């Protein structure tokens, strides 16, 4: 009787180990998928002051205004490229070919710039800096009243 119990226990233990190994191999990819979904591509949120300092120290960068055409025509930061946030996924690959270059993103208040920065990071851009809205930009702007 003792041999029967130890044989059953051995088989049950072996089955449990095999089952855990099988489940571990099956869930390996999905756990990586969950990890990637939980950790979306990153971008940095910075202040307007930090953005300006970084731009002054940089040899090259793109300053991206993600507001509408009307908002841009009323006021924008000198040297900004207009690419409304709804057009980023379509236009960025062709108009921003350097995925390693510095990109500074702004909008009116900070909501669209965060969405645009997230989209750019998801497209593989490595140095994306969101400094929020032009309403917090205390420096020079181009205005049309």
Per-residue pLDDT of the chain (145 residues; tens, 9 = 90+): 455 455 555 555 544 444 444 434 333 443 334 444 455 668 999 999 999 999 999 989 999 999 999 999 999 999 999 999 999 999 999 999 999 999 999 999 999 999 999 999 999 999 999 999 999 999 999 999 7
Determine the pLDDT at residue 59.
86
Determine the pLDDT at residue 66.
98
Measured from the Cβ of residue 73, the count of other Cβ atoms closer than 10 Å reads 12
Burial (CB count within 10 angstroms: exposed 0-12, middle 13-18, buried 19+), residue 99: middle
- The alpha carbon of residue 79 and the mean position of all alpha carbons in its chain are separated, in whole angstroms, by 23
Determine the pLDDT at residue 44.
97
Return the percent helix, strand and coil in the chain, to nearest 5: 55, 15, 30
Determine the pLDDT at residue 61.
98
- What DSSP line would sit under 23-55, residue for residue? HHHHHHHHHHHHHHHHSPPP-EE--HHHHHHHH
């Amino acid at each position: 009787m003792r041999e029967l119990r130890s044989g059953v226990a051995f088989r049950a233990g072996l089955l449990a180990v095999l089952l855990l190994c099988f489940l571990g191999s099956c869930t390996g990819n999905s756990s990586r998928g969950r990890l990637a979904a939980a950790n979306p591509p990153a971008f940095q949120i910075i202040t307007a002051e930090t953005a300006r300092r970084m731009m002054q120290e940089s040899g090259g960068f793109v300053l991206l205004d993600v507001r509408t055409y009307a908002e841009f025509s009323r006021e924008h930061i000198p040297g900004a490229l207009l690419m409304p946030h709804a057009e980023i996924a379509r236009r960025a690959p062709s108009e921003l070919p350097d995925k390693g270059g510095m990109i500074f993103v702004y909008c009116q208040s900070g909501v669209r710039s965060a969405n645009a920065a997230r989209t750019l990071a998801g497209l593989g851009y490595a140095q994306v800096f969101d400094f929020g809205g032009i309403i917090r930009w205390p420096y020079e702007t181009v205005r049309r009243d």
